[in-house]
Amino acid sequence: MNIETVMQELEALGKERTKKIYGSNGAHEPLFGVATGAMKPIAKKIKKDQSLAEQLYATGNYDAMYFAGVIADPDAMSEADFDRWIDAAYFYMLSDFVVAVTLSEADIAQEVSDKWIASGEELKMSAGWSCYCWLLGNRPDREFSQAKLSNMLDLVENTIHDSPERTKYAMNSFIYTVGVSYLPLHDKAVETAKAVGPVEVNKDKPKSKFINASENIQTAVVKNRLGFKRKHVRC
């Protein structure tokens, strides 16, 4: 399939209601409003096609950019390629659910994520922390350095309340994911979550809210989800 055919198929799948939902979360034109599940039949026909993925991502169309992540070949992407993708990711649904997810399947995932976390830029930081969440929720515990993750928990505890909005969400998810999916640091993640306490987000909106990793970890414990690993990250 070529880019023209894929764009036509995506446009045909667009729904105004879905488009409004994406828009309320930060997506802007151009976009069609395609439900992610509706993309699966096209993805099955294409499987992986990095060249096509690059063309789709470059359109700036949200649905095309999302689909690019579905058919991308992460191991064919260099650090420069991922940097280019994150630079074009203009809101969190792209940074955390397209770029971070795609990166999580690459061999260079931790190396690139570490640089993004240290960047001081909101969506790069968010993508970096989110990538670790995808990694921890999928890969065996032995693939990670316990000391490194422990230091990362310390970093979250010390900086989360002063971090940018989307980074707070991703950091909060990191505490939760370590607590649930990385058993060697479950106890420390629980302690970190308690020390951090509720984290205020949406301060720039009429009504802020609080997110709380501690409550979420306890819910996972009750549901017997400790040690949870998903088989696949990308759909």
pLDDT at 235 over 70: no
pLDDT of residue 204: 77
* CA pair distance 200, 177, nearest whole angstrom: 19
- Mean pLDDT computed over 55-67: 98
Share of the chain above pLDDT 70, in %: 100
Highest mean pLDDT out of 175-184, 196-205, 224-233: 175-184
Residue 71's SS3 state is helix
pLDDT of residue 125: 98
What are 9's two structure tokens? 């198929």
- Mean pLDDT computed over 4-10: 98
Q: How far is CA 25 from CA 70, 80, 91, 172, 226, in A?
A: 20, 27, 8, 19, 30
pLDDT of residue 179: 98
- Mean pLDDT computed over 4-33: 98
Q: How far is CA 123 from CA 22, 155, 158, 164, in A?
A: 17, 17, 19, 9
pLDDT at 205 over 90: no
pLDDT of residue 207: 86
Per domain, the residue ranges of the chain are: 1-72, 95-235
pLDDT of residue 56: 98
Question: Could you count the other beta carbons within 10 Å of the beta carbon of residue 183?
Answer: 13
| Bond into 30 cis (ω within 30) | yes
Share of the chain above pLDDT 90, in %: 94
> Tens digits of per-residue pLDDT, 74-127?
999 999 999 999 999 999 999 999 999 999 999 999 999 999 999 999 999 999
pLDDT at 139 over 70: yes
What are 161's two structure tokens? 């309340």
Q: How confident is the model at residue 3 (pLDDT cuts 50, 70, 90)?
A: very high
Give me the chain's average pLDDT, please: 96
From the list 137, 89, 88, the residue with the least C-alpha distance to 109 is: 137
From the list 95, 110, 109, the residue with the least C-alpha distance to 167 is: 95
Place of tokens 């240290």: 118
- Mean pLDDT computed over 40-47: 96
* CA pair distance 20, 70, nearest whole angstrom: 22
